[in-house]
Chain A
Amino acid sequence: DVKVTQSSRYLVKRTGEKVFLECVQDMDHENMFWYRQDPGLGLRLIYFSYDVKMKEKGDIPEGYSVSREKKERFSLILESASTNQTSMYLCASKGPGQGGNGYTFGSGTRLTVV
């Protein structure tokens, strides 16, 4: 089975800190995604990457950046954390197959910015 691992389950950071959320997949997938999930809003796409060093903005990229230096690792960066970035962050990896047939999610990182 594909495994998508997010480095932290829970994080508490202070306003203004630079925050790194790490995601690693073990199946050589080309496509990786970062979502945030908030009550009543569902999952919203922040950024995605379709290859090493390639990235595309999703629906809510403001305040975030990403890095994909290696195929297996996709990092989400909060340059200067703010309280409105308190959320559940979910990483996903997509393998061969149409659409979400190949989507696998990590277990999520619940980030609290104080």
Chain B
Amino acid sequence: QKEVEQNSGPLSVPEGAIASLNCTYSDRGSQSFFWYRQYSGKSPELIMFIYSNGDKEDGRFTAQLNKASQYVSLLIRDSQPSDSATYLCAVTQGGYNKLIFGAGTRLAVHP
């Protein structure tokens, strides 16, 4: 079982719709959870992080965390073509807070 699992996609949504990206993790000791966006040929950039159960909103992005179910998700409202990218879920592990990444979900927003 992979430590962090994501559906590879592609997830295709029309412009203006809500995109829902999901991630499950195996280590119950993980404390911090992150979503990175990566455009083709570029390095990952942090878009959201969440530490506590529940929802966290930042502009068009909402991160949701359920530690009991070991599940974290990212919602993108009013999706734009510029949101087309690979979204990486990452969780901390161990005493040095090293980040373990999922393989990523490719999102395609079409006009």
Contact = CB atoms under 8 A, between A and B. Distances in A.
Given A50-B96, A101-B49, A108-B43, A43 B101 contact: yes
Contact of A48 (B34, B96, B103): B96
Interface stretch (A68-76, A79-87, A92-100): A92-100
Task: Please classify how large the interface on chain B is, using the bins under 10, 10 to 19, 20 to 34, 35 or more.
Answer: 20 to 34
Nearest to B8: A40
B32 A100 contact: yes
A42 B102 contact: yes
Task: Please classify how large the interface on chain A is, using the bins under 10, 10 to 19, 20 to 34, 35 or more.
Answer: 20 to 34
B12 interface: no
A41 B92 CA distance: 18
Contacts of B99: 33, 45, 92, 99-100, 103
A106 B43 contact: yes
A105 B43 contact: yes
19 contacts: A33-B99, A40-B103, A41-B103, A42-B101, A42-B102, A42-B104, A43-B101, A45-B99, A90-B43, A98-B32, A99-B49, A99-B97, A99-B99, A100-B99, A103-B99, A105-B44, A105-B45, A107-B42, A108-B43
